Amino acid sequence: MTDYLLVHAAGQGAWSWGRVWGEMTSPVEHPPRLYAYRAVGKVFPLDLPGHGLDSDGDTSTVQFEECVQAVARSISRQGLIKPVIVAHGSAAPIVLQACATLDIEPSRIVLISGVIPKDRGTVISQFPAFHRCMLRFSYLLSGLTNRDVSLAANSISKSMCNSMDAMDIVQSIGYFGPLPIKVLRTKLSLSIMDISCPITYVVLNDDKWISPRKQKIMAQRIKDAEIVEIDSCHQVALQKPKELAQLLLGYA
């Protein structure tokens, strides 16, 4: 059986994988047979430090290395054996760094609209110019107000959830939380060449947060990466959970 580790993007949490988790773990047959073989083992959605259930109001102080260690720690604690590790958006460099530098042996890495900066680049440098400016302003302001940096609801709606159903946006947008601004501003040198497992890059064709063109450019920074496409906005796990789940199950 194949195990899966699902790693969310900045400002989100394990909650964002809820529908995908349901699609991946639900029985194929109804009613299910008691002794039916399942190709899928554990499917574990991780809350990165400062996010979801791990949030203690300290999201802005979370460091990149803390997140890298959290990936390795979750694999060990959950007993995941050669898992398929799935990373969304800004989680891509966290997962790549963990797999390149720690004792982790995934069977495959799947990056969904994954942010892969140039050498010594930052995650935030790959965000849309307008939002980069707004986040920098919010970061400076947070130093005066001692408040976490978050994306405005309007930005989330128009850039991340742009092609989603209006009701789905309303039901989801309140779950988005503060951003780990130090993680996003960390200059990275990723050791991608040290990763031996296959890597898949999923391009989201309706993504207005990370444009499809930029996604394809970043995918080319990974030698021999498999590139697949889904017609979805940035929040594919919310908009097309069944299609995404079927893609991931194909690697079991």
Query: What CATH number is associated with residue 161?
Result: 3.40.50.1820
Strand order in the sheet with 226-230: 40-46, 2-7, 84-88, 108-112, 199-204, 226-230
CB 157 within 8 A of CB 169: yes
Q: Lowest-pLDDT range, 45-49, 53-57, 207-211?
A: 53-57
The domain tally of the chain equals 1
Structural domain span for residue 23: 2-249
CB 9 within 8 A of CB 91: yes
Ramachandran angles phi, psi of 93, nearest 5°? -65, -30
Q: Is the pLDDT of residue 55 over 90?
A: no
For 81, the token pair is 């054996």
pLDDT in tens, 81-135: 999 999 999 999 999 999 999 989 999 999 999 999 999 999 999 998 888 888 8
pTM score of the predicted model:
0.93
